[in-house]
Structure 1
Amino acid sequence: MGFKLVHYDYSIWVYSRDEVRIIIPVYVDDMTIAAKSKQQYESVRDELAKHFKLHELGPTSFLLGVHIERDRSKHSISLSQRQYIIDVLERFSMSNCGTVTTPLPEQKLSKDIAPKTPAEIEYMKQVPYKQLVGALMYLAIATRPDIAYAVGVLGRFSSNPGPTHWKAAKHLCRYLQGTKDFRLTYAPDPKSPELFTTFCDADHGGNEDNRRSTSGMVVKMGTGAISWASKLQPFVTLSTTEAEYIAAVSAGQEIMWLRNLFTEFGYKFDAPSSLYIDNQSALSVANNPKHHGRMKHLDLRFY
């Protein structure tokens, strides 16, 4: 039919010729057809029907647990997982819990607060900690960048969680109870002339157990986030400059992948993509090689 498999994501097929661009992501036997006009969509659907037995479900409203809403007057599309959150809260007996305003409690979490007494050990054997963190992980990667850090922190203690860790996991459930109507909304942003822009940040030595830093990154397209990550860095950094610089490298890798992906979708880039960092010394290192002497112990991959 003229579709090409996207090299940078093997679950997507693209037809791009002249002014016609059609994108089909595939998940097992579920296909979503994205086209600029209904006529293009119907043409692809009819051609596919000649080769496969199709069951047409109409405009996409739910996809893999994600609710999709459109506002054609504003040229916007919104993604949310309200029902998924309700189901998770009910599954873990938190349906009627109160609400809090932060994803994590103020107390720092570490391995030192693992269960110590026989009573605590026996109590934690009855607690579905891993199951709850696993259920929240899908939220964190699908539509809720605001809980990405919290879920990442909770996941560090899955092998031996204590009562305080369990309390923190339930704290996150209470946060979701009060924010279950949050959604990602994508619409044109006249203030951003680029196809997408990226922001990165890092704490320094924020992990209480091994003093490693956490990298944070978010990519914004139009008015909404399309990619984000909160990940522990691979080794201990000696300064805030190092931590921020390594976070920027991870963000740069995501930028390169997105540029390659969108190029295969049919978009063209005639300029670099912006990466925003809030650390002046990290910017100095990136701009002027003479500053590299301060970080000459870093591996070549970071340069």
Structure 2
Amino acid sequence: MEEGHVIMIIVVHVDDIFAVGQKERCNKFDRDLNKMVPVKILGELRWYSACFYDRDVERGLLKISEQRFAEELAAEYGVEWGQSVPLPVSVKLSDFDVNEASADVPFRELVGSLMWLATQTRPDIADAARAVARYCPSPKMVHWKAALGILGYVRRTSWMGITFEGGVVTGMSMQVFVDADYASKAADRRSVSGGLVMCVWGGVTWFSRTQKSVTLSTTEAEYVAIADVLKEVLFLRQVWRFILPDASMPCIPVFEDNQGAIQNAHNPIINSNLKHIDVMHHFIRELVERKDITITHVPTQVQHADFLTKASSKQSFALHRDFMMNLQ
């Protein structure tokens, strides 16, 4: 740092290092590091942690993808092609014989690889990977086939990645989408939260996760999901403040399709019907009152976090995927 400003960001993963900053400073860092420790300087960032970084300087685009990893993974499991969605609505993972023996297949290994893709560059398989991962302790053949189906979709769309569009940084410009699928787990009736944070036209963070507690209504499930995604937002705001301390921090729009959850977030009076919600979730109201965020209603059809909570039709899935990954 110089005079309280970040001049370079250095990312280290095991023995791989890359620097972000002005070219002259990065070159100097390379030379100085090489004097202390012998390093192999590879030039402009292209590959890092199995991800490929493709820059189009003229158009101001950066695409991050894992095509090679996806294709090699599909070849390892003998998968050549797949469907146009990772997990069709017709697939019922809970439809199996409880007395059926666990499948003697490398299920955990495959699910682990799918989870890696889902958390790095393929948010479009996040919900499907979460759904099959629940059966890792005792997978049946229906779960194995579903996991292979997800891999087939990944192979079919291996060229896809997340594309970001450059521009002038004038402030913290984020869009947040959040949704929940109420009581979707038949075993314990826990709901699923889905969250998406967009910045410079691409998804920068997302999640599809089962909620930790059972909720008693759709409104409550959505309220818990809002709390989940705002934790991600607060972290990103802190990172932004560290990197660009002089940049403005505008009020962040959070798009939600449940009117009841929106009213709860804006209502300063505790409703007796909501006392059973854990106190931690009420920090939402404080953020609203401070005008750090604004929670806005959005129609379900354009709730782009919807496909992070449940299987969708082909048309709906493609709409949300293309928006989130900014497919060119």
Normalised-by-shorter TM-score class: 0.7 to 0.9
- Pair 71,17 (structure 1): closer, same or farther in 2 beyond 3 Å: farther
Which string of whole-angstrom CA distances, capped at 9 and with x for unpartnered residues, describes residues 238-297 of structure 1?
111101100000111111111111212234344332222121110100001236322111
Distance 1:63 1:83 in 2: 12
Distance 1:247 1:20 in 2: 33
- Pair 295,20 (structure 1): closer, same or farther in 2 beyond 3 Å: closer
In 1, are the aligned partners of 2:172 and 2:250 still within 8 Å (CA)?
no
Aligned to 1:3: none
Question: Unpaired segments of 5 or more residues in structure 1?
Answer: 1-14
Aligned to 2:147: 169
Aligned to 2:74: 89
Given residue 151 of structure 1, which amino acid in structure 2 is its aligned partner?
A
Which string of whole-angstrom CA distances, capped at 9 and with x for unpartnered residues, describes residues 195-245 of structure 1?
322211111011122111100011111011111110100111111110110
- Pair 270,170 (structure 1): closer, same or farther in 2 beyond 3 Å: closer
In 1, are the aligned partners of 2:5 and 2:244 still within 8 Å (CA)?
no
Q: Segments of 4+ in structure 1 off by > 4 A?
A: 16-20
Q: Shift in Å at residue 51 of structure 1?
A: 2.6
Distance 1:16 1:161 in 2: 54
Question: Unpaired segments of 5 or more residues in structure 2?
Answer: 283-328
**Structure with larger RCO (C-alpha < 8 A, sep 6+):** 2
In 1, are the aligned partners of 2:16 and 2:48 still within 8 Å (CA)?
no
Given residue 241 of structure 1, which amino acid in structure 2 is its aligned partner?
T
- Among residues 146, 150, 157, which one is paired with 2:124 in the alignment? 146
Q: How does 1:213-292 map to 2 (within 5 A)?
A: 213-267=191-245, 268-290=247-269, 292=271
Distance 1:212 1:225 in 2: 26
Aligned residues: 280
CA-atom RMSD in angstroms: 2.1
Q: Shift in Å at residue 112 of structure 1?
A: 5.5
- Pair 114,107 (structure 1): closer, same or farther in 2 beyond 3 Å: farther
Given residue 252 of structure 2, which amino acid in structure 1 is its aligned partner?
S
Q: Shift in Å at residue 66 of structure 1?
A: 0.5
Q: Shift in Å at residue 18 of structure 1?
A: 7.4
Aligned to 2:54: 69
In 2, are the aligned partners of 1:111 and 1:157 still within 8 Å (CA)?
no
- Among residues 187, 193, 199, which one is paired with 2:177 in the alignment? 199
The reply on whether 1:54 has 2:29 as its aligned counterpart is no
Q: Shift in Å at residue 131 of structure 1?
A: 1.1
In 2, are the aligned partners of 1:115 and 1:161 still within 8 Å (CA)?
no
Aligned to 1:25: 11
TM-score normalised to the size of structure 2?
Answer: 0.80
Q: Larger deviation: 269-278 or 175-184?
A: 269-278
Secondary structure at the aligned position of 2:271 is classed as: helix
TM-score normalised to the size of structure 1?
Answer: 0.86
